[in-house]
Amino acid sequence: MDTIADILALLRPNIRSLKPYSSARHEFTGEASVFLDANESPFNAPLNRYPDPLQEELKEHISNYTGIDTSSIFLGNGSDEAIDLLIRSFCEPGQDRILIPEPTYGMYQVCADINGVECNKVGLNSDFSMNTEAMLAASQEPGCKLVFLCSPNNPSGNLLETGAIRTLLEESGSVVVLDEAYVDFSSARGCMDLLEDFPNLVILRTLSKAWGLAGIRLGMALAHPELIAILNKVKYPYNINSLSQEHALKVLLKGKEEKEAWVSSILEERLSLEKSLRTINMVEEVFPSHANFLLVRFLDSSLVFKALKQRGVIVRDRSTQLHCENCLRITVGSPAENGTLMETLKQLDTIKE
Ligand SMILES: *Cc1c(COP(=O)(O)O)cnc(C)c1O
């Protein structure tokens, strides 16, 4: 079991000793009416001012909403920013490694590649559950600093077992990053409750999916305050722009009712799309999903992909990924979008017969 000191010892030495850039707005606290400290324009208020570098007001609202203290919240330009910052903070290029299950979200590997950090993969079992023994063994190899887990997993849509996640938290000796981008669409509560017990746990959440706000780029990392302080030290000073902060505030002030209605509607659509897909002859398997997409195995996914594309319907081809032969990942859209998808598939089915 790791302490926060054990975790901070995993940081790259240059990051541990880093003295961060101190912006004008960092150094000033208190009330003032004349701001001549940041070389901003006096014109074009309010956008003439740099945004709050630590997004205090927004974090207060997120804290009220989640019950997580503001000191345990990092806000990023999408959760992708947090993924990159974690790799840059912990992994020495050419030396340290990250570990991911396979298949999973592509950004973990891409961020590792960009940073010159090796990415080790352990295959999920064929039902997409975690091979806990193999993951644990790989996570205990020297140089493995971060383990990325995604639950519900993209592209398979299943939840990872809490027991398996706990095992890695307890025994890996690494930071475990649990990406819960899709947790709002699942029956699970997510693992926020584990934050108190595990200083090596980082949970990623995003406004990009259930909240319908992919365009404003706002994601978050939840973790021990000392780990959050590291991310704040490494990030660009003004990483969340004023327009995104303001819009997110407005949305959170409105409350979660609208979001919850959207989620219910997507869950209803997911169920009916699942049923309709099972009536299609070319469909071999629809995998159970806890997310806002369905992984679907076709008899010939490349034929279906091309035919859909020709008719202006774009889905995600996952057929080259482990255990995903002939699989397409289909986002649950609006009733009209899902209707168009189904009509197109039915036409194809009859042409084939
Ligand atoms: C879509 C997605 C995200 C969201 O990333 P943002 O940068 O917050 O938009 C994160 N993780 C996974 C697994 C995703 O599929």
At 214-228, the pLDDT tens digits run 999 999 999 999 999
- Phi (first) and psi of residue 218, to 5 degrees: -140, 115
pLDDT exceeds 80 at position 174: yes
What is the spatial distance between Cα 280 and Cα 271, in angstroms, rounded to a whole number?
A: 15
Say what the pLDDT of residue 192 is: 96
Instruction: Using the CB atoms, write b or e for 325-347: b if 16+ within 10 Å.
Output: ebbbbbbbbeeeebebbbebbee
Which pLDDT score, from 0 to 100, does residue 172 have? 97
User: Position 112: which residue type?
Assistant: A
Return the SS3 of 177.
strand
Please tell me the distance between residue 219's alpha carbon and the centre of ligand 1 in angstroms. Answer: 8
What is the residue with the minimal CA distance to atom 7 of ligand 1? Answer: 78
User: What is the reported pLDDT for 30?
Assistant: 73
pLDDT of residue 23: 77
- Over range 90-104, report the average pLDDT: 98
Average pLDDT over residues 56-65: 96
pLDDT in tens, 285-340: 999 999 999 999 999 999 999 999 999 999 999 999 999 999 999 999 999 999 99
- Average pLDDT value over all residues in the chain: 96
Which residue among 110, 208, 240, 293 has the greatest number of ligand 1 atoms within 8 angstroms of its CB, and so is best to mutate? 208
Hey, which bits of 118-188 come out as E strands?
Answer: 118-123, 144-150, 175-179
- Ligand 1 centroid, distance to 206 Cα (angstroms): 7
Q: For ligand 1, what atom is nearest to the CA of residue 81?
A: 7
Nearest atom within ligand 1 for CA of residue 208: 9
Higher local confidence (pLDDT), 2 or 85 = 85
Query: Would you state the pLDDT for residue 71?
Result: 98
pLDDT at 258 over 70: yes
Q: What is the mean pLDDT of residues 32-42?
A: 91
Cα 90 to middle of ligand 1, angstroms: 21
Residue 191 neighbours by CB under 8 Å, 6+ apart: 151, 162, 165, 178, 180, 201, 203
Shortest-distance Cα residue to atom 5 of ligand 1: 79
pLDDT value at 50 more than 90: yes
Map tokens 């959050």 to a residue.
228
Q: Are 153 and 128 in contact (CB under 8 A)?
A: yes
Would you say residue 352 has pLDDT above 70?
no
Q: Any idea how long the chain is?
A: 353
Give the per-residue pLDDT at 350: 80
Query: 3-class DSSP state for residue 68?
Result: coil
Tell me the CA end-to-end span of the chain in Å, nearest whole number. 59
Q: Is the distance from the beta carbon of residue 76 to the nearest atom of ligand 1 less than 6 Å? A: no
Give the pLDDT of residue 353: 58
The C-alpha R_g of the chain, in whole angstroms, comes to 22
- Ligand 1 atom 14: residue of nearest CA: 181
From the CA of 124, how far away is ligand 1's center (Å)?
Answer: 20
Torsion over CA: 76, 78, 79, 84 (sign): negative
**Contact (CB, 8 A) for 42 and 48:** yes
Task: Confirm or reject: Cβ of 105 under 6 Å from ligand 1.
Answer: yes
Is pTM, for the whole model, over 0.85? yes
Cβ of 179 closer than 6 Å to ligand 1, yes or no, is yes
Average pLDDT on 39-52 reads 96
Lowest-pLDDT range of 1-10, 22-31, 235-244, 302-311: 22-31
pLDDT band at 101 (very low <50, low <70, confident <90, very high): very high
